[in-house]
Amino acid sequence: MQPNHSNSQILEIVNQQQLEDLLEMDAPPEIWEDALYRNLLSFCQEFVQETKKFTFNGRKIEYIQLISFLTNITELYLCDNKISDIFAISKLKYLKYLDLKGNCIENISALQFLPDLTYLDLSKNKLTSYTLVLSNLQYLSLDYNKLQDKSGLQHSPKLHILNLSDIKISDLHIIPHQLFGLKELKLCQNVLQEISYISNFVDLQYLDFGWNKLLYNIEPLKFCTQLTTLSIHETDVTNIWPLQYIQHLKILLMNNTKIIDLHPLQPLNKLELISACSTCIIDISPLSKLTSLNYAYLINNKITNVEILQKTLLKTRIQKNLLYQIKKFRQQKSSSSIRKYFLFTVLTNKSEKYKTRIKSPSLELILTKRRIIFQLQCKTRLQ
């Protein structure tokens, strides 16, 4: 029997719990799309007044006209759908959190009527311009769009978090210097080469320059002394001397770079995690001075000696190196998150390389055998 589309009361949602149950039904996306487009889904007055948060993610819907009836909501999550027309959202005057990532949106002018917005995610859409004037905005994500006009950024002076990844930025001057309160800035997968303008944002705590393959000079970072997390992986950086001035740094990610010298890290007593896989590092002795270091990921380098890391670490990964001196290497045994084995690459007298799995039931490894004896033992355990 065909449904009677003339009946606007086919579905009446009485309370939030019933709505959540309905949204979790394993029904074809076409049903939800038809319901929203033809206004077959109706809400009782009590529900409309009391609902503050509405989530409709991953349903592949295209039309959201019915959303305009939820006039009191403050949070709306519609990510990973096929929405292109968002005019209905302009009716939601109290909206503060809006997530529209992963849709087909080209025109966002309707959002200009939402003065209370503090959180806005427009990533992975089809935007070519961002010209909104949203003075209360604190979080903005525009990554994975094809933006040409970004002039709207200057109208959101309260921004704390800004994501501009993969929008082909070559010049940081598109970021207004008025954003004094900026704490987190994501700029990965762009075409940045020169970053001197970053010195205007001295209060940054999180900065991601990953996958800017033309970036090689990070000297301006010496002014960003409040950074706690920094990513420069997949760049052309060879010298990290400016990092010695960032003494609040806790997390450093620099995989797939040309970095050789770790000595600039010695003053960083707050550093807790370093990931430096696939670099040109040979000497890791500067890491022995880092009293807060708990995690070290050093896979695929040219490291020959890890004995200097005798301090207890929560997790260490040093596969694919040229290790020959590993006695007195310990790993904390009380952590349930660490792996129950270590992978070493051992260099034999004939310069042959073996990947070796060494199991340690106590999660503590102490190797005191001489090099040749250890190699013979390892060779019998090859997997």
pLDDT higher than 90, residue 246: yes
pLDDT higher than 60, residue 266: yes
The mean pLDDT value of the chain amounts to 78
Are 161 and 184 within 8 A, CB to CB?
yes
Per-residue model confidence (pLDDT) at position 50 = 76
> Rounded to whole angstroms, how far apart are CA atoms 339 and 125?
39
Structure tokens at 96: 């503060």
Closest C-alpha to 269, from 255, 248, 254: 248
> Rounded to whole angstroms, how far apart are CA atoms 367 and 370?
9
In this structure, which amino acid lies at residue 331? Q
The band of 34, judged by pLDDT with boundaries at 50, 70 and 90, is low
Closest C-alpha to 204, from 252, 239, 143, 249: 249
> Rounded to whole angstroms, how far apart are CA atoms 165 and 144?
6
65 vs 100, residue with greater confidence: 100
Average pLDDT over residues 331-348: 37
Q: What's the Cα-to-Cα distance from 34 to each of 40, 63, 89, 206, rounded to whole Å?
A: 8, 8, 18, 43
Average pLDDT over residues 166-195: 95
128-178 confidence digits (pLDDT tens): 999 999 999 999 999 999 999 999 999 999 999 999 999 999 999 999 998
**DSSP conformation class of 227:** -
Per-residue model confidence (pLDDT) at position 69 = 84
Query: Which run of H or of E encompasses 49?
Result: helix 45-50
Per-residue model confidence (pLDDT) at position 319 = 67
The band of 367, judged by pLDDT with boundaries at 50, 70 and 90, is very low
Q: What's the Cα-to-Cα distance from 116 to each of 65, 161, 210, rounded to whole Å?
A: 21, 17, 32
Give the lowest-confidence range in 64-78, 84-98, 192-206, 348-362: 348-362
Largest Cα–Cα distance in the chain? 85
- Residues near 349 by beta carbon (within 8 Å), at least 6 away in sequence: 372, 375
> Rounded to whole angstroms, how far apart are CA atoms 316 and 308?
13
3 vs 310, residue with greater confidence: 310
State the distance between the two ends of the chain, measured CA to CA, in whole angstroms: 62
pLDDT higher than 80, residue 1: no
